[in-house]
Structure 1
Amino acid sequence: MTGTDAEGSLDADTRIVRNDRFVFGVIDGEAVIIDTDGGKYLNVNRTGTRILDLIAEPVRFGDLCGALTTRYAIDREACERDVRSFLLDLSGRGIVALDPQIEA
């Protein structure tokens, strides 16, 4: 299966793309995400900021985790678990789309 399932898991081919409705900025090394429609904002730590940098263009989940495990020397399984949780949270807020149909 490609994409997300009922439990919210992502497979390696799931494509991640940021929603243009949100403005992304960095203050003191940490991202701030602003919803231009709703006026809400979200602060993201440095690791989350790196993930947002890596998904500035559509990217596959497997490629994203590969880049992060190389950069941070983290166990692949732990990386996938943590990044999956972060992306599902962002997806739930509408900040990213998790879609097998978006070209990466």
Structure 2
Amino acid sequence: MYDPTFGHISIDGINIRSVNRESLRKSLATVFQDADLFNRTIHNNISIGRATVTDEELYEAAKIAAAHDFILKKNNRYDTIVGERGSQLSGGEKQRLAIARAV
């Protein structure tokens, strides 16, 4: 992270300079408009980068991202293959999976 050249950045009214950088980095995530998904299951796509995630944690992340309900409507639920670059999902569904991954 870089300090701004002028002014300050605050989150909930707290100047980020007063927050431990490591803690701040662990608390933030970036989700791009065009989410990168792999030709794997929904479960695999959400859990990328988290080797020890439990099913309960994954389901909670999906709920926070408002993805859980649409996932349950899929034929294979969390075991649904999303297709190359998420081709079997709508744009909004792809973004929700990316948000769930970030959570």
Report the TM-score when normalising by structure 2: 0.36
Higher strand share: 1
Q: Higher helix proportion, which one? A: 2
- Normalised TM-score (structure 1): 0.36
Q: Which has the larger radius of gyration?
A: 2
